[in-house]
Structure 1
């Protein structure tokens, strides 16, 4: 306060406060002038507000005064009520509270958010990747006849793998929508319960005369896929809405990178159970002769491999069920300003959620709900928002990029048998050797390409940026698939291995990571989960196409009983087609924005002066301008008789 500021009597203070505003506004201790950027200027009256706010001096005030405030030392020991509760404009309270999250230093609460979300992705990846080992074992156990000879039919193998992707599409769309309607917290954990239940049900499945094992596995994997699909938008959105702006990309990418650890663990568990049943497996020289103790051992093995996928999910379940609602959802969708502000304070202290005074909460919610500038979510608003090209092109870019990526990403797995054969990790003189080589070979492939790619992306995404990494990845993959496709018949096994590892690396240090991260950042809070779910579902549609269309296409013209490259005579042409998909992904990448070091509100078009700004935010609910124009009126009255001081 300026030393030259004159003193005022209570009568002068009261007269200065006369105006057209309702009495609820007068309970504020500061008067806010809205500014478009973070450097807001707060005009503070020079007179002592505690005098006129006292009930003895002004009995007519109806708004609740700030409760549980602390005196002194607030720069060192922040208190929500000191910082925000006295601010009557809900838009300003929202902006200041979210700025606390955006600018917070990296702490244990960020680590906790990453771990809780990451364990879910670990489980998802484990369950998806483990089926590659399990289908061969199902053939040994349930298809011991003259026709199949211990090998699962191709149609059954494809149906089991596609079932997961089909369920995932349903989960991504359904959970994505519900998370925007009923809240992130209410849905988070439910999808993990579905995954755990379906995983255990698979492990305990057995056929009967009325239903085959393939039918049972397909049913439970569709259900499991629904849970896995729900994890995509929920984990991405929750992590992004809790993350600090500086490290948001690394946090989200670290969650997604747990997919690599899940793949690694699936191969490790397969290797362990193979070693555990070594003596029994040595009694069978090949799939058709693996009977008796060998067949019993394989039956136990696939159940252990599948069932282990429920273990990490059970560990993470409690923490998912107790995670707080994201303050952004509480502000923008629930429109509960008091609860959201308290949740921010609690989150910064590592607590689960805030506990505001309920009377104060309801009063504030009634007063502020209509005054919030963020439009309410509705189908009409959704169509209007994405009907604008500057927003619609972003959704097209994220969905299109993910679609083109997954066609080739899942199609690349068609090469696995050839790659393993090239490095000497296929076949064997006994079932033990067959399963052992398959597990070790997959460990080599995952460790050589996938895992390094994931974590290089984590380390660089907040410095290089999302868009450059995605464009670079698509460009390199286009070149790699062109080389593999046109030089396929001339490449040696080791050259093919090198190209395969490079492709895996640039998938993960490239679009496989960024297509997950960007949709969790670039959409408004009220549609963020729905939009992410739609983008992810587009990707899984691409995965289904890769498995259903390109799987059979690669074997076109193959001779029965052929092995190695002869079993996939059309694989070179399939790789050429994948190169075209990568090129299309490169073009759609130019539709997405660069999200590095930008707040979620900037990216959603809520900050004036930024390229994506939506003028509707500033013009929303003009009839509620008592929070903003009233501030100007009151400050004019105060300045006329008292003057103000600027507090930045």
Structure 2
């Protein structure tokens, strides 16, 4: 059923409303990534505040860390919330609408990626749809960057206050002192950092609820073409004759029969048409999240011995080192990777970008593993680590978000995107917990080097699944994509 109101969206010129939609829809991802990627920074402080047991490494340096079981639980609980949120809100997005679900998810501060992905896909035209969805997803990178910058700012302020009251140890006296006292207000610092993440979402809520429902949901799911045309009219000028033609077509007996004869989600017809796409999208998202979240949430493990010096000077020092490195990688690698995706995705396609990203991530991780074994060249180590994040974002971390938003029928789009994302977060749980245990030194674990090699193998598998099983969506309308047999 080719509705002219939807055709008008596919051929529309890029305009101010599209960029406004990117910001509004992307704020869920921004808030989510801010909250999630504060965790590795906050855990460094929590380890010093609540777990003051002194550990000793092979160099007899004293350091502090949240016990592995506690850290695993923290990561697992946060990511499990993402799994549940994506499944539940993805399904609700197809039942009650993208606008309502996204508003509720902002209020609840649960993962809002399901609603915002399908929102941008259904507002954009087919020529620049990939760039717009990638623009929404790039808000994740800015959330990561802001979490680091806010952490640096807050901890620097608290550290300056501690210095004034002589609660830190001068560097020249450090060898003779066991541990600096923990300032009582440090327990407030990490709470402030987390609470600040609520501000962007609360500022966006009003504008999101003023945003109209997507025309595709209104026309194809609710069967209200007149309202869909009115909503599109808020974005662009649409002749009344076009609206009337669509209303007349919807009201014909043949069209009504076609609309009532739609196959359900749990059916052989759905599996025949979309089963392979759903499986491929889910597997690719699963594989990239194993690597992406492991490397992000445990940067302090990866950097240990190369760039981060375990310190006993004060409660803020270790966490500030990690925050500065995380900000550096976000500025030099993570955010640029998103921008390159936005620029190139509608020219070279989703599948090529995803395959290239997986390939170079594998190469970087294998090389990182070799360098980690030797313990030399920390400058090369950080460059390769940055390359890994650049090619994850100019690659599968962005495209696994984009492709499920384009492949499926409007009435299943949020559900399928939610399933793919939930499977991805299961991969994040497995990868994060697996990395935490596997990266321990033998005989209790594999060690960091072998763990990096395993993740390189995961990326190689992602390249294989992408190349042989993932369908290209570039250049076609959403309705053309969903009707491919």
- Is 2:263–2:269's contact at 8 Å kept on the other side of the alignment? no
Q: How does 1:26-105 map to 2 (within 5 A)?
A: 91=1, 94=3, 96-105=4-13
- Is 1:420–1:441's contact at 8 Å kept on the other side of the alignment? no
User: Residue 242 of structure 1 corresponds to which residue in structure 2?
Assistant: 123
User: Residue 402 of structure 1 corresponds to which residue in structure 2?
Assistant: 285
- Aligned-pair CA distance for 1:384: 2.7
Alignment gaps of 5+ in structure 2: 56-61
The 1:520/1:425 distance shift into structure 2, 3 A limit, reads farther
Q: Distance in 2 between matches of 1:558 and 1:280?
A: 43
Q: Does the alignment pair 1:461 with 2:345?
A: yes
- Is 1:427–1:433's contact at 8 Å kept on the other side of the alignment? yes
- 2:153 aligned to which of 272, 281, 301: 272
User: Residue 365 of structure 2 corresponds to which residue in structure 1?
Assistant: 481
User: Residue 164 of structure 1 corresponds to which residue in structure 2?
Assistant: 78
User: Residue 106 of structure 2 corresponds to which residue in structure 1?
Assistant: 192
The 1:98/1:257 distance shift into structure 2, 3 A limit, reads same
How many matched pairs?
Answer: 463
- 1:308 aligned to which of 196, 201, 210: 196
User: Residue 548 of structure 1 corresponds to which residue in structure 2?
Assistant: 433
Q: How does 1:32-431 map to 2 (within 5 A)?
A: 91=1, 94=3, 96-144=4-52, 151-195=65-109, 227-228=110-111, 231-282=112-163, 283-285=167-169, 289=179, 291=181, 294-348=182-236, 371=256, 373-374=258-259, 379=264, 382-388=266-272, 391-413=274-296, 414-419=298-303, 421-423=305-307, 427=311, 429-431=313-315
- Is 1:426–1:437's contact at 8 Å kept on the other side of the alignment? no
Q: Deviation per CA, 1:232-273: give whole Å up to 9, x if none.
A: 221100100000111111110011111111111111111111
- Is 2:21–2:120's contact at 8 Å kept on the other side of the alignment? yes
Q: SS of the residue aligned with 1:597?
A: coil
- 2:396 aligned to which of 511, 515, 519: 511
- Aligned-pair CA distance for 1:345: 1.9
Q: Distance in 2 between matches of 1:553 and 1:394?
A: 32
Q: Deviation per CA, 1:7-48: give whole Å up to 9, x if none.
A: xxxxxxxxxxxxxxxxxxxxxxxxxxxxxxxxxxxxxxxxxx
- Aligned-pair CA distance for 1:576: 1.9
Q: Which has the higher relative contact order, 1 or 2, with Cα contacts under 8 A spaced 6 or more apart?
A: 2
- 2:479 aligned to which of 601, 608, 630: 601
- Aligned-pair CA distance for 1:588: 1.5
Larger CA deviation: 314-323 vs 150-159: 150-159
User: Residue 523 of structure 1 corresponds to which residue in structure 2?
Assistant: 408
The 1:476/1:267 distance shift into structure 2, 3 A limit, reads same
- Bigger share in helix: 2
Q: Distance in 2 between matches of 1:143 and 1:423?
A: 23
Q: Distance in 2 between matches of 1:113 and 1:385?
A: 34
- Aligned-pair CA distance for 1:131: 1.5
Q: Distance in 1 between matches of 2:398 and 2:465?
A: 16
Q: Distance in 1 between matches of 2:476 and 2:249?
A: 30
- Aligned-pair CA distance for 1:451: 1.3
The 1:311/1:420 distance shift into structure 2, 3 A limit, reads farther
Q: Does the alignment pair 1:495 with 2:380?
A: yes
- Is 2:333–2:386's contact at 8 Å kept on the other side of the alignment? yes
Q: Distance in 1 between matches of 2:343 and 2:299?
A: 29
- Aligned-pair CA distance for 1:501: 1.1
Q: Distance in 2 between matches of 1:369 and 1:281?
A: 75
Q: Does the alignment pair 1:576 with 2:453?
A: yes
- Aligned-pair CA distance for 1:435: 3.5
Larger CA deviation: 453-462 vs 475-484: 475-484
The 1:409/1:134 distance shift into structure 2, 3 A limit, reads same
Root-mean-square deviation (CA, aligned residues, Å) is: 3.0
The 1:584/1:109 distance shift into structure 2, 3 A limit, reads same
- Is 2:28–2:113's contact at 8 Å kept on the other side of the alignment? no
Q: Distance in 2 between matches of 1:362 and 1:447?
A: 49
- Is 1:284–1:430's contact at 8 Å kept on the other side of the alignment? yes
Q: Distance in 2 between matches of 1:557 and 1:548?
A: 17
Q: Deviation per CA, 1:360-409: give whole Å up to 9, x if none.
A: x9999776796263466664x54233321x53211111111111111111
Q: Distance in 2 between matches of 1:583 and 1:469?
A: 14
TM score, norm. by length of structure 1: 0.66
Structure showing greater Rg: 1
Q: Deviation per CA, 1:46-76: give whole Å up to 9, x if none.
A: xxxxxxxxxxxxxxxxxxxxxxxxxxxxxxx
- Aligned-pair CA distance for 1:152: 2.6
Q: Distance in 2 between matches of 1:145 and 1:403?
A: 36
